[in-house]
């Protein structure tokens, strides 16, 4: 097999872009698969067999992304969640937003109606501010709960990264409004007092049990908000952060009672019935999709660990066996939340992408060790029961008329792209796979992609080496892929890598609606 290398900008051969030529076997001549096979055989990236050692190697430290970079990603995800929806996702998103707007508008109309006549005194103005901020802030918190409820229609419409972006927008503002509500309520009572204003304010808070509960609920919100701040959350173990976040449901319950007993627009009549109904609907949705359905599905499918397989240093695949897994409706590129009923893992559910869809009664996830939870996962014993939620995610095959598909994977981010590559290739769509890994030995599932490449089903470009040394900028992407304007592009990997690739693709004319990516970070 002859090997040649394209030259770099400085005129030297680029070993990271080594191409190979040779013969290969694959689909029958004359098919669309055969046409892609011929192209792959003449200009295919040579793939070296992974060198797998028996001992884990240290993982290279990845630079921490900047706050500005994270904000840019959040903004991009927010825009995608609003404007880059397709087909049925657009209709579902429109319906969901319309229902939320209708309920929110009705609540606000009842709130405004209750304000009149407005007392134009300091106490009256503060009371008005208190009522309005309470209504808007509480609606925001209920929306946050719905965003986290993993409702399939919302997940499919907005994608996980879109929902997370909404979460980050609504969360801080909701907490600020609740804080303003508390301050305005207390100051309004103090302003109306004729003698000791401090005593009047304290008496207002402690004299009503429902108000005391509401204050405790607000403190829980405050702690949850502070621990969700990226600079604080990075210092906390995931288990501790998850536990604190879980207590927010308790905070919502504690804050509810005073809303229908201690004054305000929701104490009587239709307004009270509507407000209680909103809480009931949100609570039912959370219990249904976060508790009941996962337990029912887990019992129905009886998922258990079949085997834990070493893939590469620090990366393992977990095979699980169950009953009737096709009924879960899993699509290539999706992920599920898995709770392994094993010591140290039972209290947390982690989202993992599916690296192999159901084949009979087996599914597979591929996991990198990045913390204590994932480190424990490799020691899970066969037969361990697994509870599942999902599937979730919108990194799925779309119906389109594009010329080809390009898949970008970084490290263990290659996991959801393997079933995508198999699916698209099986449909006769030309598939290019660009696989980036910083350490040559740490390339999970490379052997599977190599087999697909050797059979002529895909064109594989394996690029070992740190991205800062060989960036995937527009020049290199064009060298690898040529014209990408009519390609559907999927990517999964570290945020720094996907940001870099997206910038290069946009410079080459790829439009945002053809670039599919999904982030799972809160």
CATH of the domain at 502: 3.40.50.80
Is 452's pLDDT higher than 90? yes
Helix (H) or strand (E) holding 462: strand 459-464
Is 319's pLDDT higher than 60? yes
User: Please, which pLDDT band fits residue 521 given cuts at 50, 70 and 90?
Assistant: low
- Residues 344 and 220 reside in one and the same domain: no
Residue 229 lies in a domain: yes
Name every residue whose Cβ is closer than 8 Å to that of residue 156 and which is 6 or more positions away in sequence: 88, 89, 92, 394
Is 37's pLDDT higher than 50? no
Provide the pLDDT for residue 184: 92
Is 308's pLDDT higher than 90? yes
Q: Could you tell me which residue, 57 or 119, shows the higher pLDDT?
A: 119
Q: HEC string of 485-511?
A: CCEEEEEECCHHHHHHHHHHHHHCCCC
pLDDT tens sequence across 280-296: 999 999 999 999 999 99
Residue 235 lies in a domain: yes
User: Please, which pLDDT band fits residue 90 given cuts at 50, 70 and 90?
Assistant: low
Is 56's pLDDT higher than 60? no
Domain count, the chain: 3
**Out of 163-167, 281-285, 313-317, least confident range:** 163-167
Mean pLDDT computed over 424-444: 89
**Out of 126-130, 192-196, 398-402, 510-514, least confident range:** 398-402
- Residues 468 and 400 reside in one and the same domain: yes
Is 239's pLDDT higher than 60? yes
Is 495's pLDDT higher than 80? yes
Mean pLDDT computed over 189-195: 85
Residue 167 lies in a domain: yes
**Is residue 319 within 8 Å of residue 309, measured between CB atoms?**
yes
User: Please, which pLDDT band fits residue 27 given cuts at 50, 70 and 90?
Assistant: very low
- Residues 288 and 307 reside in one and the same domain: no
Q: Could you tell me which residue, 260 or 83, shows the higher pLDDT?
A: 260
CATH number of the domain to which 355 belongs: 2.40.30.10
- Residues 285 and 317 reside in one and the same domain: no
- Residues 475 and 335 reside in one and the same domain: no
Name the nearest CA neighbour of 437 among 308, 314, 310: 314
Provide the pLDDT for residue 400: 60
The span from the CA of 69 to the CA of 65, in Å, is 6
- Residues 113 and 202 reside in one and the same domain: yes
- Residues 173 and 288 reside in one and the same domain: yes
Mean pLDDT of the chain: 79
- Residues 97 and 206 reside in one and the same domain: yes
Provide the pLDDT for residue 430: 93
- Residues 311 and 356 reside in one and the same domain: yes
Provide the pLDDT for residue 401: 62
Residue 66 lies in a domain: no
Residue 491 lies in a domain: yes
- Residues 99 and 208 reside in one and the same domain: yes
- In angstroms, the Cα distances linking 367 to 33, 315, 345, 476, 495 are 31, 6, 14, 29, 17
User: Please, which pLDDT band fits residue 1 given cuts at 50, 70 and 90?
Assistant: very low
Provide the pLDDT for residue 282: 92
Mean pLDDT computed over 469-482: 89
pLDDT tens sequence across 91-103: 766 777 788 788 8
Mark which of 237, 269, 297 sits at the end of a domain: 297
pLDDT tens sequence across 140-154: 999 999 888 888 878
pLDDT exceeding 90 applies to what percent of the chain?
36
Provide the pLDDT for residue 481: 93
Q: Could you tell me which residue, 419 or 271, shows the higher pLDDT?
A: 419
Helix (H) or strand (E) holding 316: strand 315-321
Residue 226 lies in a domain: yes
Which phi and psi (to 5°) does residue 386 adopt? -130, 130
Range of the domain at 338: 303-392
Mark which of 352, 370, 392 sits at the end of a domain: 392
Provide the pLDDT for residue 63: 30
Provide the pLDDT for residue 287: 94
Mark which of 257, 280, 297 sits at the end of a domain: 297
118-140 in b/e form (b: 16+ CB < 10 A) is eeeeeebebbbbbbbbbbbbbbb
Is 166's pLDDT higher than 90? no
Residue 132 lies in a domain: yes
- Residues 33 and 95 reside in one and the same domain: no
Is 19's pLDDT higher than 50? no
**Out of 198-202, 250-254, 449-453, least confident range:** 198-202
User: Please, which pLDDT band fits residue 72 given cuts at 50, 70 and 90?
Assistant: very low
Provide the pLDDT for residue 89: 57
pLDDT tens sequence across 374-426: 888 888 999 999 999 988 888 888 766 677 999 999 989 999 999 999 999 98
Residue 493 lies in a domain: yes
Q: HEC string of 378-425?
A: CCCCCCCEEEEEEEECCCCCCCCCCCEEEEEEEHHHHCCHHHHHHHHH
Is 203's pLDDT higher than 80? yes
- Residues 177 and 239 reside in one and the same domain: yes
Is 156's pLDDT higher than 80? no
Name the nearest CA neighbour of 498 among 404, 421, 407: 407
User: Please, which pLDDT band fits residue 169 given cuts at 50, 70 and 90?
Assistant: confident
Provide the pLDDT for residue 399: 60
Q: Could you tell me which residue, 46 or 497, shows the higher pLDDT?
A: 497
């Amino acid at each position: 097999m002859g090997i040649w290398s394209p030259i770099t900008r400085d005129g030297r051969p680029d070993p990271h872009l080594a191409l190979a030529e040779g013969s290969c076997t694959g689909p029958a001549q004359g098919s669309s698969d055969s046409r892609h096979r011929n192209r792959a055989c003449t200009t295919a990236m040579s793939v070296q067999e992974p060198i797998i050692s028996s001992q884990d190697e240290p993982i290279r430290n990845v630079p921490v992304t900047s706050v500005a970079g994270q904000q840019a990603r959040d903004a991009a995800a927010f825009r995608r969640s609003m404007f880059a929806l397709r087909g049925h996702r657009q209709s579902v998103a429109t319906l969901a937003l319309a229902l939320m707007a209708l309920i929110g508008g009705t609540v606000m109309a009842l709130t405004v109606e209750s304000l009149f006549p407005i007392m134009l005194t300091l106490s009256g103005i503060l009371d008005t501010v208190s009522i309005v901020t309470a209504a808007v802030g509480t609606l925001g918190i209920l929306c946050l709960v719905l965003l986290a409820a993993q409702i399939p229609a919302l997940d499919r419409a907005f994608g996980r990264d879109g929902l997370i972006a909404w979460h980050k927008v609504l969360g801080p503002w909701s907490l600020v409004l609740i804080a303003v509500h508390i301050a305005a309520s207390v100051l309004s009572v103090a302003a109306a007092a004729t003698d000791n204003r401090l005593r009047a304010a304290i008496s207002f808070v402690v004299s009503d049990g429902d108000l005391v509960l509401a204050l405790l609920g607000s403190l829980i919100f405050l702690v949850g908000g502070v621990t969700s701040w990226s600079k604080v959350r990075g210092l906390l173990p995931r288990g501790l952060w998850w536990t604190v976040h879980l207590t927010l449901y308790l905070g919502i319950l504690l804050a509810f009672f005073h809303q229908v007993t201690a004054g305000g627009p929701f104490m009587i009549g239709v307004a009270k019935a509507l407000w209680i109904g909103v809480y009931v609907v949100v609570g039912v949705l959370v219990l249904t999709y976060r508790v009941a359905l996962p337990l029912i599905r887990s019992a129905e499918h009886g998922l258990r660990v079949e085997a834990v397989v070493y893939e590469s240093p620090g990366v393992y695949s977990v095979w699980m066996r169950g009953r009737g897994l096709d009924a879960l409706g899993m699509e290539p590129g999706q992920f599920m939340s898995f709770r392994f009923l094993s010591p140290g893992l039972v209290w947390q559910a982690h989202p993992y992408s599916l690296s192999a869809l159901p084949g009979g009664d087996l599914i597979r996830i591929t996991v990198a060790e990045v913390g204590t939870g994932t480190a424990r996962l490799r020691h899970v014993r066969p037969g361990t029961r697994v509870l599942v939620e999902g599937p979730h995610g919108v990194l799925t095959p779309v119906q389109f008329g594009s010329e080809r598909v390009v898949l970008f994977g970084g490290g263990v981010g290659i996991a959801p792209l393997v079933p995508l590559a198999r699916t698209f290739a099986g449909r006769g769509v030309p598939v290019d796979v660009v696989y980036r890994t910083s350490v040559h030995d740490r390339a999970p599932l490379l052997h599977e992609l190599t087999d697909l490449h050797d059979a002529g089903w895909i064109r594989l470009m394996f690029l070992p080496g740190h991205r800062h040394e060989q960036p995937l900028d527009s020049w290199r992407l064009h060298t690898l892929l040529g014209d990408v304007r009519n390609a559907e592009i999927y990517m999964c990997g570290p945020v720094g890598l996907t940001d870099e690739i997206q910038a290069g693709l946009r410079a080459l004319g790829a439009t945002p609606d053809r670039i599919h990516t999904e982030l799972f970070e809160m």
